[in-house]
Structure 1
Amino acid sequence: MSPPIFVKLGLATPLGLSARATQCAIAAGLTGFADTDVADSAGEPVRASRLSSLDPATTREERMLFLGQRALAECLAGLDPRRLTSVACYLALPERDARPFNEAYVARGLRDAADPALPLDWSARPILAGRAGVFAALEAAAAAIASGRTSLALVGGVDSHCDHASLQHLAAGGRTLGKSNPDGLIPGEGAGFVLLARAGAASGFGAPLGRLIACATSQDSLPFNKRNPMHAVGLTAMFRQLRHLNAGQPRPQHLYSCQTGESPWARELSNAYLRNAELMPEPFRTSIIAGSLGDAGAASPVVQLGVAFYAFAAAWRAGTPADRAVLYGAADSGSVGGGIVAH
C-alpha cells in the first residue's frame, strides 16, 4: 500500500499564528526569546519563547487552547463536510510530571472549537508523551488508514511551558538557560495539526505536503534526570526500527530533532547515531527546533514537520529536490518517537 500523504497543516507559535508565518520566520533564522518576570536561582530573569500578545498571567491550559484552537482552525479550513465520512483524531499533549494540567479541559476546548458539521472522531484518548507524543499519534493514524478504518486522520500536538507556574518549576529545577546554567533550556510553546490522507483519498486537497514513510516508538526505562545518555537505550531502539523500515530505500538527507538543546540529549543522539549510521544523513545535516522556539514540548514534532515540508518545497523550486528526512523526539519521562517523511 502507498504511504499516507500529508495534505493539510496548521501551526501557531510565538513566531506566527499560521503555518506560513512560522515556517518563514524559522527559515529566516528569527527567534522570539525574551526575558520574563520569573527569576532563576541566580536572580536572573528566565528567558522564554512565548507569545507576547497573551497576558503573562494566563494559565498553561489557556495558553495551550489559544494556540491549539488557531492551529486547528487553519488545518481544518476549507474542508467540505459533505465530502467527508469520518476523520479519526489523535491529540498529543504534555507528559505527566510535577506540573499537573487539566487534559480534559484542553481536549474538550479543542474539540468544541471545531466546526460541528465536520465528522471528527475524537474517541481516541489524548497521548500524554510530550515531545514523543505526535509520533505515537502518527503511528496510530497510519495504522488506522492502512487497516481501512479511516481514510483521513487528524494529528495534533499542543503544549506550553510559558505560564508563570511552569517557568517557576523549570527554574527551581535548574533546567532553564542562564548565566549560572549554560547548559539549560529555553521554555517555549506552540501548537500544530496535520491532516493525513490515504493516497487514493487525497484528491481535492491540492499538492501534497509530503508522505509519511515510517513511524516508530520506543521507551527508555529511566527518565531524563536519571538515565545515562551514553546508553541511549530508547533512542537506539527507535532508530533501529526506522532503519529496518527504510531498508532498501534512499537515505534521509536531513535530521530534525525536537530536543531542548541540553547536552545530555546531544550525547544521547551521538551514541544512537553511531549504532544506526545507515539511517542518518551523510553528511550529517541536522536542525533542532529549540534553536528557534525553545522547548515547545508536545508541539515540537508538528512544527518540525512544517519545517521539513517548507524545505522540501524550497529544494524543489531550486531544482534540487530533497527526497526524505528523519525526525525524532524524546520525552523527559522516557517515551521516544520518530518518523521518516518524504517529498
Structure 2
Amino acid sequence: MAAVKRPLYIAGSGAVTPAGLNAPQTVAAIRAGLSAFEEMLLSEPLGATQVVARIRAHSRLRRTDGQWLVNMAARAIGEALRSGMRVSETTAILLAPPESFRNHPAYADIAPPDFLTAVMSATGQKFHAASRATDGGAAASIGLLERASELVEQQGVEQVLLGGVDSLVNDTDLARLGRAGRLKGADNAQGLVPGEAAAFVRLTRSPEGKAHVHAAIYGVGLAQEQDSVLSERYSQGRALLGALRDAVTGSGPSEPDIDFVISNSNGERYSGWEQLITRPRFYRTRREALATAFPAMTIGDIGAAGGALALMLAADSFVNDYAPGRTAVCELASENGLRAAAVMARMTRR
C-alpha cells in the first residue's frame, strides 16, 4: 500500500479518553503532559492493584463490557459528526473494535458481526451502507485510509468517520497481559498501562470552511510483522520499516520532509526495541532531534482506538499551530503484528 490517490483532509474529530470526555480536552491533556493514571484494585489476585488509565463514568454506563464500548464509540462518533454540517446518511463509518484474538468480554454481550450495528443504533443516526468494521487493532484503522479515500470519491459518500474503540481495563485482558509479564508495575518498569478510549476523525476529500490551515493525509503504508509481541522473539522492525517506506512513496512528502512523529508505542521493552532498530534505518536525513509524541504517556495503551487518536493529535497540532514542523508521520503498531504509517502535512490556503 502506498500514497492515497489524492489527499484526505481531517475536518473534525471526536474522542472520549481517560484524559478528557471530548477531543479538545484530550489533546490539551496530552499536549500538557498530564497523566490520567490511577491504581485500580483487582479482584484476581484478591487485594492486588494495577496502574490503569480509566475513564470516570457512572456505573449505569458500564453495566456490561459491550454496552460500555458501544457508549464510548457512540459518544465520540456524535462529536465528530457535529464538527461538520453533512448529514449522517451521506457519512460512512470505518470502525476498528477490539481484536478478535483477545476474546474481549464485550463480545460475550455483542457478537463481533453485530458490533458496528449496535454502535450505529446507539448514536440514533442512520449511516451510509458502505460503513464497515475491521479486525486488526490500531494499525488496521490506519490501513482503512485507502478505503476511506475510495469512498469519498464515490457518489453518495460525502465524508468518512474513521476510528476505533477499545478497553484493556477488563479482567480478561488484565489476566492475559499479567501472565505474559507485560503490565507496568513495581517489578516491571518497562510494561504497559492498560487504557480505554474511543476516537474518530472526520475525513473529507477537500478542505472545509474558510480556515487558513488544514491537515492533509498524503501517504499510507501497511505491513505485517512476523515477530509480534505475542511471539517469543523481539521484532527486528521489518514491517514497521516497510510501512514507513510505503507511506512516503509517491508525490507527497518524503523522508527528509518529516519533522515529527506520533507513535502509539506503549512503553513495553518490545516496542522500544522495535523503534530503536527501525528508526536509524528509515530516518537517514541528519536531524538534531526527532520530536516524538507518545499519547500513551497520558492515557495508557488504548488498543484499537490508537490509530484515530494519533491522526487527531497530528491534525490538532497543525491547525492550532503548536506542531514542531509542517510534516508528521503517525506510526502505529497492533498486538497481532500489523504495522502502519500515515504521512500528514500542514496545508495553508490563501
Question: When the two structures are superposed, what TM-score results if normalisation uses the length of structure 2?
Answer: 0.85
Q: Which residue is 2:18 aligned to?
A: 14
**Cα 1:69/1:231, change in 2 over 3 Å:** same
Q: Which residue is 1:112 aligned to?
A: 121
- Return the alpha-carbon distance in structure 2 between the equivalents of residues 190 and 280 of structure 1: 36
**Cα 1:41/1:179, change in 2 over 3 Å:** farther
Q: Which of 27, 31, 35 is the aligned partner of 2:35? A: 31
**Cα 1:208/1:151, change in 2 over 3 Å:** farther
Q: Which residue is 1:328 aligned to?
A: 331
Contact 2:193 2:300 in 1 (8 A): yes
**Cα 1:39/1:177, change in 2 over 3 Å:** farther
Report the secondary structure of 1:304's partner residue: helix
Q: Which of 238, 241, 246 is the aligned partner of 1:241? A: 246
Contact 2:94 2:133 in 1 (8 A): yes
User: How far did 1:13 drift?
Assistant: 0.5
Count of residue pairs brought into register by the alignment: 335
Unaligned runs of 5+ in 2: none
User: How far did 1:4 drift?
Assistant: 1.7
Q: Which residue is 1:50 aligned to?
A: 54
**Cα 1:90/1:39, change in 2 over 3 Å:** same
Report the secondary structure of 2:321's partner residue: helix
Deviation readout 1:266-317 (Å, 9 max, x if unpaired): 111122212211489752111112111110011112222222223223436x
Deviation readout 1:154-197 (Å, 9 max, x if unpaired): 21111111123332332233221111222211000101111111
Q: Which of 254, 260, 266 is the aligned partner of 1:260? A: 266
1:293 is matched by which residue type in structure 2? I
Q: Which residue is 1:213 aligned to?
A: 218
Pair 1:315-2:321 in alignment: yes
- Return the alpha-carbon distance in structure 2 between the equivalents of residues 6 and 151 of structure 1: 13
Q: Which residue is 1:338 aligned to?
A: 341
- Return the alpha-carbon distance in structure 2 between the equivalents of residues 313 and 80 of structure 1: 19
1:66 is matched by which residue type in structure 2? N
Q: Which residue is 2:309 aligned to?
A: 303
Contact 1:273 1:280 in 2 (8 A): no
Contact 1:160 1:189 in 2 (8 A): yes
CA RMSD between the two structures:
2.9
Q: Which residue is 1:177 aligned to?
A: 184
Contact 1:57 1:163 in 2 (8 A): no
Q: Which residue is 1:157 aligned to?
A: 164
- Return the alpha-carbon distance in structure 2 between the equivalents of residues 152 and 282 of structure 1: 39
Q: Which residue is 1:71 aligned to?
A: 76
Pair 1:188-2:191 in alignment: no
Question: When the two structures are superposed, what TM-score results if normalisation uses the length of structure 1?
Answer: 0.86
2:344 is matched by which residue type in structure 1? V
User: How far did 1:61 drift?
Assistant: 2.0
Report the secondary structure of 2:7's partner residue: coil
- Return the alpha-carbon distance in structure 1 between the equivalents of residues 287 and 73 of structure 2: 32
| Percent of residue pairs identical | 24
User: How far did 1:149 drift?
Assistant: 7.4
Pair 1:5-2:20 in alignment: no
Report the secondary structure of 2:42's partner residue: strand
User: How far did 1:132 drift?
Assistant: 0.8
1:311 is matched by which residue type in structure 2? S
User: How far did 1:93 drift?
Assistant: 1.5
Unaligned runs of 5+ in 1: none
